[in-house]
Amino acid sequence: MADSPRSKAEPDELRVAWRLVMEMVLEQRWRWAEVAEKLKIPQAALRALLAIDPDEPRPMRDLAEAMNCDASYVTAVVDDLERAGYANRRTAPADRRVKTVVLTAAGRRALRTVQEELLAPPPQLDRLPAAEREALARLLQRALASGDRQ
């Protein structure tokens, strides 16, 4: 069996870089609770909002796949979004057996809030010089573009 890039021990600098990225992400986890409280929805509903294209109704099954969860769980999350007035279920025109989720006007505003407040870079990154922020963004984009998601 040939050695894959993952079968070899990662260089120390890669382990350090990944640990630091994870520390920064985990340090910001309070944002989820804060934004969820502001929008008066559970934190799982924030993830659903981020997974729903505001311009294209999304089948419930696709939403479950995007959230990496069971369809019954998505049903409960969409219930929360509907109660808050952020989403509606609709029947798909091409297949009446398929239920889709569409954001309401309030849901679009909620999505903008999530994007602006939850996905805003942490202050530690904002303090980096512009050239270093750009280099970091390029490196992360290259790493994600490799398509190696295992």
Short-list 110, 107, 137, 122, CA closest to 31:
122
Per-residue pLDDT reduced to its tens digit, 6-56:
545 556 888 998 899 999 989 889 999 999 999 999 999 999 999 999 999
- For the whole model, what pTM was predicted? 0.78
Residues 6+ apart with CB under 8 A from 95: none
Q: At what angle do helices 43-51 and 71-83 cross, to 10 degrees?
A: 100
Per-residue pLDDT reduced to its tens digit, 52-72:
999 999 999 999 999 999 989
Domain-wise residue ranges, the chain: 28-119, 122-150
* The CATH fold of domain 28-119: Arc Repressor Mutant, subunit A (1.10.10)
Confidence at 1, pLDDT banded by 50, 70, 90: very low
Per-residue pLDDT reduced to its tens digit, 74-119:
999 999 999 999 999 999 888 899 999 999 999 999 999 999 998 8
Distances (CA, A) of 67 to 9, 18, 41, 44: 30, 23, 17, 9
DSSP annotation string for 76-106 = HHHHHHHHTTSEEEEE-SS-TT-EEEEE-HH
